[in-house]
């Protein structure tokens, strides 16, 4: 459980740095779905194939900001460490990353 939150924090940091692929984001979402974590953004990211980074990145941001924070707010202790990941993503200006 702590491992999952660390993996998500690392993925968020790599995303901010532009060092993660859309395929990696899809695998992360697929793993979350397999483990019973769901939000609309996670569902779409984990099940839609062939997403370009602009699409996958937007869904990943939504998943971190909404779905995972909601899970933490509802008391899902296995995701308690993920709040930092959503804060990493939330503190960035994404307008300059998308083309």
Of 54, 62, 16, nearest in space to 38 by CA: 62
- Residue range 28-63, pLDDT digits in tens: 889 888 888 888 898 999 999 999 999 999 999 988
pLDDT for 54 equals 93
The pTM score is 0.68
Both tokens of residue 18? 């532009």
What sections of the chain are H helices per DSSP?
A: 2-17, 22-34, 40-47, 53-62, 69-73, 83-90
- Residue range 57-91, pLDDT digits in tens: 999 998 888 656 555 556 555 554 454 555 555 55
- Can you tell me whether residue 92 is helix, strand or coil? coil
């Amino acid at each position: 459980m702590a491992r999952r939150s660390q993996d998500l924090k690392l993925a968020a940091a790599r995303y901010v740095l532009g060092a993660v692929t859309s395929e990696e984001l899809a695998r992360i979402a697929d793993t979350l779905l397999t483990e019973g974590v769901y939000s609309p953004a996670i569902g779409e990211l984990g099940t839609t194939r062939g997403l370009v980074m602009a699409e996958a990145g937007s869904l990943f941001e939504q998943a971190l900001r909404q779905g995972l924070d909601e899970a933490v707010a509802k008391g899902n202790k296995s995701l308690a460490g993920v709040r930092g990941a959503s804060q990493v993503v939330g503190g960035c200006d994404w307008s300059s990353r998308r083309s």
